[in-house]
Structure 1
């Protein structure tokens, strides 16, 4: 049986690894640190292709919608295999305007979403506060997207670690891949500190670090860069949460968890791999959250976290084959990593096993960049 090496132990690498291991594949996941503790750990866990659709992303929308459709079955299978709840919630999402200017912008966005066939509704300020009584009295209107959900991404990656190993996969944490070894136009394996781990297939799922790994020819290096996101986590009383839905405003989004955590995110910063939290970033998030939900003022602040979105040149994922035989990519998901995790696991694992790429993923291979300067 051929050996498969997956570079990167985030939600992509673990998901692909689990799908392959379930089919009896000999698969090893390598992570430079603790698996699942990079971008997958800091994400908001929002599954919101409807409310988040933006002008210019029409080509990407079918992929996002299909990714959303795969989540219920993914949750069911993962919860059963891991024996844990993933806090998958179907409460819906509110995009809230706090003044007339916001309302005009969101109304334009709402009309665009409706024109794209998205199942969204326009709510008055009274209707918004009826759904979420603790919101600011300044709330004047909102877009309601009842089909946009969320999940506790931290529970997901911890569950994936467990089921991947249970299915027969090998997980090697604190094991950085120094180089992807290529000989004669095909992969031979990956170079570790102790030597070469030979593999017939290498899946590059290293997120924002995918471009940094040595060994790839210059024209094959994926055009992926880190986009920093800072998040703040507060603690609500679990028995009396301030929010029941994901809520967006112009300056922040708020994600409630069943354990009472309230995640506030996220900055968007071109700062390379600088993981230092900043006063300005935290202030921006807390101010936006306070304007939307004044009662956050008295909540304990339990965590400040920084992650790096793996962002491709066109903000869309890079999936599937490359000109190097045996080298497969699963990176560049930008802000859609959690949403697209089940679909990516399905598409990439099937390609590795059968050599056939799902037509839905064909516009998102590395080939679209190869005629452009890196």
Structure 2
């Protein structure tokens, strides 16, 4: 069991001040450990352009049974995590529980959506098909052309930018220290345990197969500073284009996102066009919203699309907490809890078994 040190060596060094890294730091510091977080630009990574959907149901895809289980486990922790964080930080961060609507614009779109719902319901996940009239009762802003959809009441949302700010306050109030500088070699860190939560940067530090997956995303703003004309997160298929619409407090709507096997962060006209066309097809009033921001970020992807969490083979005292791809926000509570428990007790929760770095032993390069 790891216990707190006195002056000098830190108990835990966390590399990366995104949601996962800051949540790990908060959980460890709250247990009385001396924690130092290293990041040259806290909160500037994938979370800065993330939509913040907490979607264990809508994000459940074919062949990802173990990942779906982890998503569900983390989503179940979110209500308690949100309440605890709000108290610790003294601020809110846009946690909303209206649920998610999944819709199809055309007959083909609806058929594709139904295929996925059947799979999700077969796993026992809570998603309920709705008739077009039932959809519009819930969200009158939906286009009349929408052929049908379903509701996932347990799929919620949070504002990632506000979440990072709240986690930083909570971590620092618990005693964690933030060092705003880069880490080039893990051997440079003076800590008994190092947690690498550096997103795409984890590859260079650990040799793990974490690759950048580009995502372009838009932020719209309702006219006149009023709230958006809809309250649910809307995930839809529009003439074969997948899109999501996330209404925020304060009038913002997040529209996303592309998934591109690229490592640049340029915003392209084609991506903006595709996202806006699909968004307006589903919710026509969005055509009158202001285009407030167009940005791109790099998700940390892995060969099996699942995160890498646990001890790094051959590197005593080094834990990975990376590779969360498009699930970093929803997986923040479970990752932080399980990593903190591993740091303190040395025992890995059985939930981590499918996600340890050991599964990529053949992929690793020297790091």
TM-score, normalising length: structure 1 = 0.91
Residue pairs, 1:340-355, within 5 angstroms:
340-355=331-346
User: 1:372, CA displacement in angstroms?
Assistant: 4.8
Which of 268, 286, 290 is equivalent to 2:280? 290
Residue in structure 1 matching 2:107, options 69, 81, 100? 100
- Show the 5 A alignment for 1:306-325: 306-323=296-313, 324-325=315-316
CA shift, 1:202, in A, is 1.1
Q: How far apart in 2 are the matches of 1:244 and 1:234?
A: 15
> What does residue range 131-150 of structure 1 map to in structure 2 within 5 Å?
131-150=138-157
Q: Does the alignment pair 1:161 with 2:168?
A: yes
Aligned residue in 1 for 2:228: 241
Structure 2: runs of 5 or more not aligned: none
Q: CA deviation at 1:140?
A: 0.7
Equivalence for 2:190: 198
Structure-1 residue corresponding to 2:209: 223
Contact preservation (8 Å) 1:129, 1:139: no
Corresponding residue of 2:19? 11
Aligned to 2:186: 180
d(CA) in 1 for partners of 2:308 and 2:198?
12
CA change 1:81–1:312 in 2 (3 A) is same
Work out whether 1:114 is the aligned partner of 2:105.
no
**1:20 lines up with 2:7 in the alignment:** no
- For residue 212 of structure 1, report the CA deviation from its aligned partner: 2.1
Partner residue of 1:31 out of 35, 39, 42: 39
How far apart, in 1, do the equivalents of 2:272 and 2:300 lie? Answer: 21
- Contact 2:208–2:364, Cα closer than 8 Å, also in 1: no
Residues in 1 aligned to 2:363 and 2:289: alpha-carbon distance in whole angstroms? 49
Which sections of structure 1, spanning at least 5 residues, go unmatched? 182-189, 191-196
CA root-mean-square deviation: 1.3
Report the CA distance between 1:298 and its aligned residue: 1.2
**Deviation sequence 1:179-205 (CA, Å, 0-9, x none):** 111xxxxxxxx3xxxxxx422211111
Structure 1 residue 299 and structure 2 residue 272: aligned?
Answer: no
- Whether contact under 8 Å (2:208, 2:363) holds in the other structure is no
Q: Can you list the C-alpha shifts for 1:308-339, whole angstroms capped at 9, x where unaligned?
A: 11111110010011221101000001111000
CA distance in 2, matches of 1:252, 1:62: 24
Find the partner of 1:262 among 219, 234, 253.
Answer: 253
Question: Equivalent residue for 2:83?
Answer: 76
The alignment partner of 1:357 has SS state of coil
Separation in 2, partners of 1:322, 1:14: 20
| Offset at residue 61 of structure 1 (A) | 1.6
Deviations 1:8-28 (A, max 9, x none): 111111000011111111111
Provide the rounded CA distance (Å) in 2 between the counterparts of 1:112 and 1:363.
21
SS at structure 1 position matched to 2:330: helix
Q: Offset at 1:32?
A: 2.7
Indicate whether 1:232 and 2:218 are aligned.
yes
